Amino acid sequence: MSDTARPSVLFVCVHNAGRSQMAAAILTHLAGDRVQVRSAGSAPADTVNPAVVDAMAEVGIDIAAEVPKVLTVEAVQASDAVITMGCGDTCPVFPGKRYLDWQLPDPAGQGVEAVRPIRDEIEKRICGLVDEITPVS
């Protein structure tokens, strides 16, 4: 399958250190190569939140090597769907793109106990998204 045939999703939050990293990893885990996945932040942190790394490891997804990335116009333009998670007006909007805004608590500064329910809610939303955007094979 060519890249043009695969739907592409960009997850955006402010620091690209928590919610968007979890969402990208879960979508990649569930959809594999059926979806092109990106994540970015409007003001990226230096590292991914350690509690987020730990919470993802609990469900068998290793994001320890991930690094926060800066949101670029090119990333938005290259994506079919842009899912924002609390970045407000800092996310560029382009006509013809599908935008979803997922209101989720920010895991910044939280322990793994607080991150788990955020992770689980993201996974629930991702499952619905996978069913919606991936062709049945």
Active-site positions read 13, 87, 91
CA gap 76, 86 in Å, rounded: 16
The answer to whether 92 touches 99, Cβ cutoff 8 Å, is no
**Are 79 and 10 in contact, with CB atoms under 8 Å apart?**
yes
Paired with 121 in beta bridges are: none
* C-alpha to C-alpha distance for 12 and 52, rounded to whole angstroms: 16
* Residue 93 tokens, joined: 């909007």
Phi, psi of 81 (to 5 degrees): -130, 140
> What end-to-end distance do the CA atoms of the chain give, in Å?
12
